[in-house]
Chains A and B, each alone.
Chain A
Amino acid sequence: MPSTFSGLEIAKRGLTVHQQAIATTGHNISNADNKHYARQRVNFEAMSPLYDPALNRANGPGMIGQGVQISSIERIRDNFIDDRILDLSQEKASWNVREQYFAHLEIIYNEPSDQAIRASLDKFWASWQELAQFPEEYSHREVLKTRADELVYNINSTYGKLRDLREQADTEIKNNVQSLNTLAQEIRDLNEKILKSETLGDQPNDLYDRRDELLQRISSIANINVSRSDANEIFIYIGSEILVQGETVNKLTTIPDTKNEGLSRVVWDYNQKDVVLGNGSLYSLFNIRDKVLREHVDKMDLLAINLHDIVNEIHKDGFSLTGETNIDFFKQDSLSKNIMGNYDLNNDGQNDTTAIFKVAGNNKIKPEQPIGINGLLSFVKNDENHTVVQVAYNANDTVDSVIQKINKSGAGLVAYVNHDNNFALKGNVADDNWQKNFMIRHIEDSGEFLTGMTGILQSSGENGAFDYRRINDISKLQSNRENISFTPMFHPAGSFKLSNDIANNPGLISAASGKDIGGTGDYNQPNGIKDGSNALKISNALRHEKSMVGEYQNPDDFYHALIAKLGVESREAKDKIEGQETMMKNLETMRQSVMGVNLDEEMSNMVQFQHAYNASAKMLQTINEMLELLISKV
């Protein structure tokens, strides 16, 4: 026999449950604009009916309904989509960084315009042409000096801006590490709270949402993997290392890297090992800083050192207005401080390296002349393993075809014939360690091409080979010292400038050629002030000759290729970002479709719950009236 008041109890349950449902609807509506909020739903459940099959059950028709109760408040969310979004936001963040930095780079180069390096190269070339016509006029010399200054300034400042951008990337890396640590800490704190309420049997939906939001923010910084397989703990990995496990967190830290000009390295705090990054903004920043910007700095350095060498090489053979010769046009300090080109590369106080940038042979040769001898040249690549590259030549080859073979072989150097018809070899950018930039690594010839014919090496074979890993190896070279250029101080683009001689007295610009009287091997007799042929040679070497800047034929070619590559890469980043925005939008749409709040839906729910509440209240009233009637009649 049921209790007199059992109906009241059912009505009361109806009231509280629907009150809760309306409150949850209100919660949903309030969070309608919260991107990371997953809508919640109150799950109703009928109360256990009377009576359970047991000995003490009342004797009567069974299973009397006892009204409703809340089984759970569930959040509606699809973790599969969440994980896809995590993946995509890593990738999107890394392209975002790339796009942003490439936009910076494009601003730095400021091409195509009339104010940047290309225009100053043009003007520099034209000034040599003018000087060739009017070599005796001071006015044209002043113009050339100013234009050269402008070119130097443009290269210096481009280099400086590239350095600043690297610093900026470094600062951003530090900031990213910091926010990653903060986020990891917040997740750990949330885990603690979540675990506590789960232990109490609750579903902390809003805490879950908050944690999912933090995960998404972390994933745009680093490539995290989230493992939800353990019911009690969430695992967050970066690579194979654990960032957060339940209530423990491993922090990251930045330490300065001496091998990379003091820029930061990111390591795990507890074991000081490098963090293995695969994607995300941190990864992209490293890529930008150490690959893209490094490459651009190297290229500016390469442009500077080659301009320096191309102009100086010819300039030193020429004669000034007053008949002086062997004057440097550009000034560049060399790495080595002694006349043998020795340098202490590993910084242990002992010289260990012969650092030379260019060596030109003593003998005059013609590019089209057949060489008539056989042999095998050996060089090494500019990589860590010093991979050997061999170039065979035979009697039918011309000097030109040997040059082509060398330049296509991928050896760490390039060959060309200079203005004086000497065969020359020039260093290039190093692939392994930037400190080894612009060093010729290894020259070896089994035959006579580099020895008797072009006059670079003293002797053939392995014993006569030049190798930069030995000191005093300059003695293996046959070339006169004025035909050898030493490797410049680090970052020639930053320190590259006009020589003091030229800066103070443009009369010393050597526009005139000279003659070699007495067979000294050097030009010692000027042709006089009226001669501008040396200026013409310089203008031709800058533009029309094959003077080789890296793999490119001349400074113009080199610079065009640099800008082309920049354009393509920047364009790629822009296109990628656009594609990823669309993908992200689609994923977000899918996610919102599941977890987003639809106001109409909530409204109709509200109406429905309100009615249910009203009905429960009505029922309470009805029962009340029934009881009243009963009591008053008794």
Chain B
Amino acid sequence: MRITNSMIHNDMILTLNRHKSAMAKVENELATGVKISKPSDDPTGSVNQMIYLSRMAEFNQYERNVQEAHDRINMIDNQLGNATDIMHRVRELTVQAANGINSKFELRESIGKEIEQHLLSLVDLANVKDSTGRPLFGGSVIERDPFTAIFERNVTEGVDNGRMLSGVVYQGDNLANSREIERREAMDVSIPGNKAFWGTNMTITTNKDSGDYIAQGNQAFAIDGYKIDISAGDTIENIIDKINNAPVEVKASLGGNNDLILSTETPHQIWLEDIESSTVLQDLGVIDGNNKKPGNNISAAATVNGMSIFDVVIQLRKDLYNGDQLAIGGRDLEAIDMAMENLLRYRAEAGARVNRLESHTERLAMDKTYTQELLAKNESIDEVESIVNLKWLENVNNYALKVGAGMIKPTLMDFLR
């Protein structure tokens, strides 16, 4: 083949250019530490990169969610612990008051007054707020204190005791306040006050003869947030059956006057609601037609038994003021034990949730590390390899330059005189 000067020249320029661009790429890799800067550098790698980066952003968000949930539940756990401590002291005082050696004056002035203070601190505790100012025990209600205390002038046996706490009303709800701690995995970070701060089982007796009740049209109501569908033509027996088969801690039965009796199996406030335009509960005389908002909506005609933890302590205080030692040692002590048991139950639940969150934090941290590692493997260069590559390219380039310089130089002209 005939070789011409421009062929040699072109060849060399092309080769040198290729070396230069390969070296520039490796140098850029070494300077930035990453091997993917454009999708075309590695199409699959760059998409993986985007997926890993998005996943990392997700992990960071979930970590924040978990942290927030953890703080909140931890706080709930602590507050329930404090409430238990107070109840221990209340119980001690109750046992002391029940042993019969205290005079009426002592019962009222020393024990009763102390109980009153414990009662107030229990209410404060139930209204405690988290770091962002939201109540811990209001269910999903955050705009107001979950418990409102009512004070009234107290006159017992002719003695004016001034304004004292006479009742506590729950203003929260029983809804969950949940956090997403992983894709589609939510955790409830609230314990509604009408569960944790409840003392005894609750019973509602409607005092309304519903023996011939027949449901008009398809309707629905909710007990403790669980929806129960009523079909047209359902009788009171059908409804009782449906309630008893529902996964709620409330049982229904028919009273002597064919009235409906609802009672809880564990201490909590029964949360009743007619759903949408239904009127089943209203027709049965359970809830008040004028005030349908659940919580404090029980019909005035119905008999309601069951006390919150505050009611229990208020009753104890009343008995102390009245000097009724029998009641103190009997029903009060029993009620206090039940209330403490209930507190413990929710404390255990809070503890279990804290545990779950802690193990979840660990899992998240592991997933995060793993993804970080993938991310690093995917985008980072192997420095040793890159440096070796660079050196190799430099060498090749030097040879090319040397050989090229040698080849281009001599022509026939150099030898003609």
Contact = CB atoms under 8 A, between A and B. Distances in A.
Interface in B343-384: 379
A267 to B, nearest CB: 35
B179 interface: yes
Interface stretch (A399-407, A489-497, A502-510, A562-570): A562-570
A123 interface: yes
Interface in A512-547: 515-519, 527-531, 536, 539-540, 543-544
A516 B14 CA distance: 74
A102 interface: yes
A571 B53 contact: no
B103 interface: no
Interface residues of A, number: 65
B10 A589 contact: yes
Interface string B161-203: 0000000000000010101100110000000000000000000
B156 interface: no
Nearest to B49: A112
Given A129-B61, A560-B50, A599 B413 contact: yes
Given A123-B57, A592-B10, A564 B184 contact: no
Given A111-B50, A567-B42, A588-B10, A599 B5 contact: yes
The main secondary structure of chain B at its interface with chain A is: helix
A106 B40 contact: yes
A597 B4 contact: yes
Contacts of B140: 527-528, 530-531
Nearest to B1: A593
A594 interface: yes
A531 B65 CA distance: 16
A600 interface: yes
A160 to B, nearest CB: 20
A530 B177 contact: yes
Contacts of B177: 530
Interface in A1-52: 32-33, 35
Given A567-B43, A581-B14, A600-B411, A32 B6 contact: yes
A346 interface: no
Contacts of B379: 112
A540 B177 CA distance: 17
B7 interface: yes
A570 B68 contact: no
A563 B47 contact: yes
Nearest to A517: B276
Contacts of A129: 61, 65, 180
A625 B132 CA distance: 124
A536 B142 contact: no
A122 B53 contact: yes
A133 B68 contact: yes
Given A129-B61, A568-B43, A603 B412 contact: yes
A600 B7 CA distance: 14
A516 B43 contact: no
B74 interface: no
A604 B416 CA distance: 10
Interface of A: 32-33, 35, 102-103, 106, 109, 111-112, 114, 118-119, 121-123, 125-126, 129-130, 132-134, 136-137, 515-519, 527-531, 536, 539-540, 543-544, 556, 559-560, 563-564, 566-568, 570-571, 574, 581, 585, 588-589, 592-594, 596-600, 603-604, 607
The 10 closest A-B pairs by CB, nearest first: A567-B39, A567-B43, A596-B4, A570-B40, A122-B57, A603-B412, A600-B412, A530-B142, A112-B49, A571-B40
Given A32-B5, A125-B57, A130-B64, 12 more contacts: A106-B40, A112-B46, A122-B53, A126-B60, A132-B180, A137-B132, A527-B175, A536-B180, A544-B183, A598-B2, A599-B5, A607-B416
25 contacts: A106-B39, A106-B40, A112-B39, A112-B46, A122-B53, A126-B57, A133-B179, A134-B132, A136-B143, A518-B277, A527-B175, A530-B143, A531-B140, A559-B50, A563-B47, A566-B39, A567-B42, A567-B47, A568-B40, A593-B2, A593-B3, A593-B4, A596-B2, A596-B4, A600-B411
